[in-house]
Each structure stands twice: as structure tokens, then as C-alpha cells.
Amino acid sequence: MTERYQIRVLGRLGPVLRAAFGDVRCEMPPRQTLIRGELSRDELRLLLERMDKLGLRLVQLDCQRS
């Protein structure tokens, strides 16, 4: 089952980092990056692990079931 997620991280990610997150949409509000997409729980876990390894600071994580 996939769910729709919205993840906010502190800072504006450049194109190389945004590309590292695959098939999710990235927007750039002031001083943050907003990552949106439909992910399975395993995909979300991998995305969060990747963000942690990159040293990104999670601001908010919202889930809306599809």
C-alpha cells in the first residue's frame, strides 16, 4: 500500500540532491525544501535514511493515505 507523503527539510536542496530522491516532487519555499510523493513504507524508510546520511534536518512529515 502506498501513501502520499509531504516532507519538509531545513534548507534549499540543489539539483543534485533533489535528483537523489528519485520519483518525488520537490518545491522550494523560503529556507526549506518540500518533498512530496506516493511512497510505500519501505520507500519512505529508505528516503528518510538517505536524508539522514546526507545530514538533512527534518522539519515536518505528513501522511495522507491514497
pLDDT (tens place) for every residue of the chain, 66 residues total: 889 999 999 999 888 888 887 788 999 989 999 999 999 999 999 999 989 998 999 999 999 875
pTM for the whole structure: 0.82
Q: pLDDT at position 23, please?
A: 83
What does DSSP say about strands 32-39 and 58-65: parallel, antiparallel, or unpaired? unpaired
Cβ atoms < 10 Å from Cβ of 20: 12
Nearest CA-CA partner of 54 in 13, 1, 25: 13
C-alpha cell at 4: 502520499
Q: pLDDT at position 58, please?
A: 95
